[in-house]
Chains A and B, each alone.
Chain A
Amino acid sequence: MAGENSGLVIKPMDQFQVKALFGGDVNWYTPTNVTLWMALTILAATALMVYGARGRALVPNRGQSAAEMTYGFIYKMVEDVAGKDAVRFFPHIFTLFMFVFFANILGLIPFAFTTTSHIAVTAVLALTVFFSVTALGFILHGTKFLGLFWISSAPLALRPVLALIELISYCVRPVSHSIRLAGAMMAGHAVAKVFAGFTAAMGAAFFLPILAVTALYALELLVAVIQAYVFTILTCVYLKDALHPSH
């Protein structure tokens, strides 16, 4: 086994490659593994929220309970974090949560492709949130929305400085929003792959990397759920700023 060292090439990043499903070049319209796993994400979300809740029973069964709890969890989050008037954006936020949640979870299946591990995907999501929320703020409050950056409780001399800091932190939001999710997903999957690669190289101690991967998997499951939660709650926080810009 030690002799096979030359054959041991761990390529932890290969799992993130975008490949055409039916061969050929990857054009913008080509069905790729991105297409497949996004479709599966939609399928999983639909299975939970439509198929699971199909009974419409007064006393829900397990599937319906899960769907209702998910609904209630996000609804309460939107209401608590972004305020009661943010409830009209609940379907949007719910869609976002469902997508990120199931993309993260499905990505944990061995040989799966994690769509949310790509910065292109999370950046589009985060930028959509950023521009929608900013536009909403200006539509609802006009120039008063800029009061978000003008901290009236601070001393007058400090206000321009604070406004600059606030503006920068506001514009950095989509960056942190998207890189947090993609980074967490990518790092976890890459580490899992590296440990899995060690299994062949460790010889008799092959069980150590397997134990490590098992532990890592549990952690990654937690990370997948938490990152979906964090992505959604940050969206709610940004939405709150747009709806109620005064500090």
Chain B
Amino acid sequence: MADNAASGPGMPQLDITTFSNQIFWLVVAMVVLYFIMSRMALPRIAAVLADRRGTITSDIAIAEELKLKAQAAEEAYRKALAEARAEAGRIIEAAKVEMQVELDGQMAKAEAEIAARTAESERRIREIRDSAMDMVSDVSKDATKDILELFGAKVDARSVNAAVAARLKGGA
């Protein structure tokens, strides 16, 4: 803290002898700083900021566009789905109708066959029954003749047959 003769007792700020030095270096410093800032720093930062703003704006625009595209795609998907559902419904309906028609045809055919078979069966049953009836009447006639002969009665085949037939008819 050696006392400097120049410092004096008062404030160094009021030492006019140093003013020219300070002012000179201040002017130099301000000019240098101004050129560094205005030629290098500020345009660079301004460019970066503008660049960023541009990127953000375009990104937002792209996002908007993509969103619209996605909405359109969803719309198309929904439409396709609805169409497919309608088409499927139509196909099912057509298939049902077709099946019904075929079923009806098959049923008719089956019923016809069943009817034919039933008729055939009935006819054969009738035949069997008729032949059985004939056999019964033959057996009855023969038995009657044999019984009558056994009793020693004269047998007139024709009258016996008629009597047995009458009895069978009446008894049946």
**Is chain B a partner of chain A in the same complex?**
yes
B22 pairs with A41, CB closer than 8 A: no
Residue of B nearest to A91 (CB): B38
Confirm or deny: B159 has a beta carbon within 8 angstroms of a beta carbon on chain A.
Answer: no
B37 pairs with A9, CB closer than 8 A: no
Question: CB-CB < 8 A to A27: which residues of B?
Answer: 20-21
A120 pairs with B37, CB closer than 8 A: no
User: Bound complex: CA of A16 vs CA of B1, how far in Å?
Assistant: 13
A50 pairs with B24, CB closer than 8 A: no
Instruction: From A13, A53, A94, A120, give the contact of B18 (CB < 8 A).
Output: A120
Confirm or deny: A214 has a beta carbon within 8 angstroms of a beta carbon on chain B.
Answer: no
Instruction: From A41, A49, A67, give the contact of B29 (CB < 8 A).
Output: A41
B21 pairs with A26, CB closer than 8 A: yes
Interface string of B1-17 (1 = CB under 8 A from A): 10010110011111101
Residue of B nearest to A45 (CB): B33
The segment out of A31-39, A149-157, A166-174, A203-211 that lies at the interface is: A31-39
Question: CB-CB < 8 A to A186: which residues of B?
Answer: 11, 13
A28 pairs with B13, CB closer than 8 A: no
User: Bound complex: CA of A199 vs CA of B60, how far in Å?
Assistant: 61
The count of residues in chain B whose C-beta lies closer than 8 Å to any C-beta of chain A is 42
User: Bound complex: CA of A90 vs CA of B34, how far in Å?
Assistant: 11
Q: Quick one: given A18-B21, A45-B37, A58-B51, are A91 and B42 in contact (CB under 8 Å)?
A: yes
A13 pairs with B1, CB closer than 8 A: no
B33 pairs with A42, CB closer than 8 A: yes
User: Bound complex: CA of A186 vs CA of B20, how far in Å?
Assistant: 20
Confirm or deny: A99 has a beta carbon within 8 angstroms of a beta carbon on chain B.
Answer: yes
A16 pairs with B29, CB closer than 8 A: no
B44 pairs with A95, CB closer than 8 A: no
Question: CB-CB < 8 A to B150: which residues of A?
Answer: none
Question: CB-CB < 8 A to A247: which residues of B?
Answer: none
Confirm or deny: A117 has a beta carbon within 8 angstroms of a beta carbon on chain B.
Answer: yes
User: Bound complex: CA of A71 vs CA of B41, how far in Å?
Assistant: 10
Instruction: From B36, B45, B48, B49, give the contact of A46 (CB < 8 A).
Output: B36
Confirm or deny: A119 has a beta carbon within 8 angstroms of a beta carbon on chain B.
Answer: yes
Confirm or deny: B25 has a beta carbon within 8 angstroms of a beta carbon on chain A.
Answer: yes
B29, chain A: closest CB distance, angstroms:
4
A53, chain B: closest CB distance, angstroms:
5
B45, chain A: closest CB distance, angstroms:
5
Question: CB-CB < 8 A to A49: which residues of B?
Answer: 36-37, 40-42, 45
Question: CB-CB < 8 A to B32: which residues of A?
Answer: 42
Residue of A nearest to B1 (CB): A11
Confirm or deny: B172 has a beta carbon within 8 angstroms of a beta carbon on chain A.
Answer: no
Question: CB-CB < 8 A to B117: which residues of A?
Answer: none
* Interface members, chain A 83-130 (any B CB < 8 Å): 90-92, 94-95, 98-99, 115, 117-121, 124-125
Confirm or deny: B62 has a beta carbon within 8 angstroms of a beta carbon on chain A.
Answer: no
Interface string of A4-35 (1 = CB under 8 A from B): 00000101011011110000001111101011
Q: Quick one: given A53-B45, A56-B44, A56-B48, are A121 and B22 in contact (CB under 8 Å)?
A: yes
User: Bound complex: CA of A26 vs CA of B17, how far in Å?
Assistant: 8
Residue of A nearest to B22 (CB): A120
B26 pairs with A124, CB closer than 8 A: yes
Interface residues of A (CB under 8 A from B): 9, 11, 13-14, 16-19, 26-30, 32, 34-35, 38-39, 41-42, 45-46, 49-50, 53, 56-58, 60, 64, 67-68, 71-72, 90-92, 94-95, 98-99, 115, 117-121, 124-125, 182, 186
Contacts A/B (CB < 8 Å), 23 sampled:
A14-B1, A14-B7, A17-B6, A18-B15, A26-B17, A28-B23, A30-B21, A34-B18, A41-B29, A50-B41, A53-B41, A57-B48, A64-B48, A68-B48, A71-B42, A71-B46, A91-B38, A99-B29, A117-B13, A119-B13, A120-B23, A125-B30, A186-B13
